Structure 1
Amino acid sequence: MTKKQIFTLEYPVRCSPSILYEFLSTPAGLQEWFADKVDERDNVFSFSWNGTTDKAEVTESEFEKFIRFHWMNAPPEEYFEFRIEKSEVTNQTILVIRDFAGKGEVKDQSQLWSYQVKDLFHRLGN
């Protein structure tokens, strides 16, 4: 299996970090934009799309700062992460997404994230 590489995407968001964090870290928030159905038990989130379910464990988090998930079926060093940062210049909230993809898959994976984030922004009223 080919080793995947990390990539980072940044999106300016017009909302408070606390509201954004709810959409990134709770089953109800994630179900609004990320998956059709989301459940959580003992720090393991079950994400369902079109009848298929994948599980991811929360490996690290800091309230209103970031949350990192590890897909249960992925190598231990791979994860996806939502990080909330503030631009020092504009004081704008920035959503930073880190994920892993194969060398030839980064563009497709980035487009998929952009599509998902567009749905998130719609829910946030952005």
Structure 2
Amino acid sequence: MEKTKFVSDYQINTSKKIIYPYLSTASGLSQWFADDVTINEDKIYNFVYDGEDHYARPVIMRTNHHVKFEFFDPTEGPDNGMDHSFIEFKLEENELTQTFYLRVVDYGDTYSEQEQKSIWEGLINGLKEIIGG
């Protein structure tokens, strides 16, 4: 299946220190991003959506700045040389306005741009409700 890259910025009215755990920990991600998230002893994340397991490894974890998860098929392992889907969260600040933004990069199976936008707006609105931002 063809993959597409969706990139969008969302203004977040909170500090990086408050939002970062919601982007990087199993308990934080399971509150807004997936039905459930667990981490095994090998630091492999299991994102559960609609009863299906989706395995990912964290490839970037810069505290209070940047998180990237690369998804893979557990029967093939994460280092099989394939073009893996990924989700990336970057926390950025507009220095002029002192406003924080969450940049979402979603590279994966093809959805229409409108579907992607709708999915992410719903997810980010849920996150904002939780953090009050």
For normalisation by structure 2, the TM-score amounts to: 0.84
In the alignment, structure 1 segments of 5+ residues that lack a partner are none
Q: How far apart are the structure 2 equivalents of 1:62 and 1:44?
A: 17
Q: How does 1:30-69 map to 2 (within 5 A)?
A: 30-41=29-40, 42-69=42-69
Native 8 Å contact 2:38 2:46 kept in 1: yes
Native 8 Å contact 2:86 2:108 kept in 1: no
Match of 2:24 in 1: 25
Native 8 Å contact 2:36 2:49 kept in 1: yes
Could you say if the C-alpha distance between residues 16 and 7 of structure 1 is closer, same or farther in structure 2, counting changes exceeding 3 Å?
same
Alignment deviations for residues 37-89 of structure 1 (CA, whole Å, 9 cap, x no partner): 11012221111123221111111121111010111139435321000001122
Q: Which is worse superposed, 43-52 or 116-125?
A: 43-52
Q: How far apart are the structure 1 equivalents of 2:110 and 2:48?
A: 26
Q: How does 1:74-113 map to 2 (within 5 A)?
A: 75-101=82-108, 105-113=112-120
Q: Which is worse superposed, 45-54 or 112-121?
A: 45-54
Match of 1:119 in 2: 126
Q: Which is worse superposed, 48-57 or 11-20?
A: 48-57
For normalisation by structure 1, the TM-score amounts to: 0.88
Native 8 Å contact 1:68 1:80 kept in 2: yes
In the alignment, structure 2 segments of 5+ residues that lack a partner are none
> Identity of aligned pairs, percent?
26
Native 8 Å contact 1:80 1:97 kept in 2: yes
SS of the residue corresponding to residue 14 of structure 2 reads: coil
Native 8 Å contact 2:72 2:85 kept in 1: no
Q: Which is worse superposed, 95-104 or 59-68?
A: 95-104
Count of residue pairs brought into register by the alignment = 125
Match of 2:71 in 1: 71
